[in-house]
Amino acid sequence: MIVTTTMDLAGYRIVEYRGMVRGLIVRSPTIMQSITGGLKNIIGGKIGAYTDMCETARQQAYDHMIEHAEQMGANAVIGVRYDASQVAADAATEVLCYGTAVVIQKIS
Domain containing 22 equals 2-28+61-106
Q: How many structural domains does the chain have? A: 1
Give me the CATH number covering residue 23: 3.30.110.70
Task: Look over the chain and give the mean of its residue pLDDT values, rounded to a whole number.
Answer: 85
55 falls within a domain? no
* pLDDT over 90, % of the chain: 58
50 falls within a domain? no
| Mean pLDDT calculated for residue range 52-63 | 90
More confident residue, 43 or 64: 64
Whole-number Å distance between alpha carbons of 62 and 97: 6
